[in-house]
């Protein structure tokens, strides 16, 4: 991110997925929080099946509660990796509330 312009960059990131379609591109703003990006992934028609996951950049887990501008090295050419996490009972209820698949 370019701190000189206040971190207001809008750019596209590639999200690598463990299943089909294997990757998606999402337009983001540097001032968005990682949790906002996660919500966009969960609401996207091609990726709504992901409800229990975290994102990684260059092998490092990204904190959900930081702005994208705070993720070191993140830019328009960056790739993030979606890593599925094991479901807890709470996650199962959340998926059910969102209309997603209920884990077995």
Instruction: Report the CATH number that the domain containing residue 92 is assigned in CATH.
Output: 3.10.20.90
Q: What is the pLDDT of residue 90?
A: 64
58 within domain boundaries: yes
76 within domain boundaries: yes
Q: pLDDT at residue 79 above 90? A: yes
Q: Who has greater pLDDT, 7 or 72?
A: 72
Of the chain, the percentage scoring pLDDT greater than 90 comes to 63
User: Are 62 and 56 spatial neighbours (Cβ–Cβ below 8 Å)?
Assistant: yes
Predicted TM-score (pTM) of this structure: 0.76
Give the pLDDT band (50/70/90) at residue 76: confident
Total residues found in the chain within this entry: 104
User: Are 56 and 84 spatial neighbours (Cβ–Cβ below 8 Å)?
Assistant: no
Q: What is the pLDDT of residue 9?
A: 84
Q: Extract the runs of DSSP E, i.e. beta strands, from the chain.
A: 10-16, 23-29, 53-57, 60-61, 79-84
CA Rg, the chain, in Å?
Answer: 14
Domain that holds residue 16: 8-96
3 within domain boundaries: no
């Amino acid at each position: 991110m370019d701190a000189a312009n206040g971190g207001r960059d809008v750019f596209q990131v590639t999200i690598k997925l463990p299943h089909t379609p294997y990757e998606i591109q999402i337009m983001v703003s540097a001032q968005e929080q990682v949790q906002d990006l996660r919500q966009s992934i969960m609401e996207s028609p091609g990726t709504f099946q992901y409800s229990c996951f975290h994102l990684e950049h260059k092998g490092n887990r990204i904190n959900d509660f930081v702005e994208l501008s705070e993720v070191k090295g993140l830019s328009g050419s960056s790739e993030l990796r979606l890593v599925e996490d094991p479901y807890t009972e709470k996650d199962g209820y959340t998926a059910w509330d969102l209309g997603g698949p209920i884990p077995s």
